[in-house]
Amino acid sequence: MKKLLADFPEWGPEDAAACVGNGGAESNLQAVQEAHPISGRGGFGWFQWTGPRRNAFEAYCQRSGKNMYADETNYDYLFVELKGAYSSTVTAVAAARTITEKVAAFEREFEKPAVLNTGTRTALAERALKAYQATSVVTPPATTPKQPVSAPVAATIAAAPVAATFAIGVFAKIGMVTVGVIVAAVVALIVFGVIKYHMAKKPARTPAPAPKPKAEPKK
């Protein structure tokens, strides 16, 4: 489903699930030969391509040198059809509202079966959607615990706005607003320096006393 969502930006998770549910009903998303074909060679692959579509799939595999039994090849050909002759499927599925309607739209536009089997396809689509949602839960990143702020730093931070406001107010009264702003900026730099100093300051380690030489025994 993630690959479908990446390759078809028009689709959301329910749209991609509708595609998967239809493929699951056709072949359980396995590159297999139809067990009991009604006529001719029957269907083959994830979506049981039959008749001219099977011939086109086999020609695609031969032309590209791909293994028709490989899952990657089956997905690649699904991509070719949804981007080409069956692009109306993408639009129809995206326009449908509920997951059941999306499954029916895919079945109608892409599968074109003689007898509709939307119930089974919808159940498989809902299962695929739940599996996708279970693996797409975002785990919030671990947060780094904040270091406690020392008392001097806290006091400096608390006093900074007051000092800056006082400076601007004083100079504003005498018509020197620009000077007041400059003084406020200087206060902010001083506060930053104090904080940086206290954060970097570490208690000095007292060197261990040197061992006293042992007294030699008197002879």
Task: Give the pLDDT score at 37.
Answer: 87
Task: Give the pLDDT score at 38.
Answer: 84
Q: Where are the alpha helices (DSSP H) in the chain?
A: 2-7, 13-27, 52-64, 71-83, 87-95, 99-106, 118-135, 151-173, 177-200
Task: Give the pLDDT score at 22.
Answer: 97
Sign of the C-alpha dihedral, residues 177, 178, 183, 185?
positive
Task: Give the pLDDT score at 33.
Answer: 94
User: What residues in the chain have per-residue pLDDT under 50?
Assistant: 167-168, 170-172, 174, 179, 183, 215, 217-219
Task: Give the pLDDT score at 217.
Answer: 47
- 95 vs 15: CA distance, rounded Å: 9
Q: Where are the domains of the chain?
A: 2-135, 151-200
The domain at 2-135 falls in which architecture?
Orthogonal Bundle (1.10)
> Under 8 Å CB-to-CB from 208, ≥6 apart: which residues?
none
- 152 vs 154: CA distance, rounded Å: 5
Task: Give the pLDDT score at 119.
Answer: 96
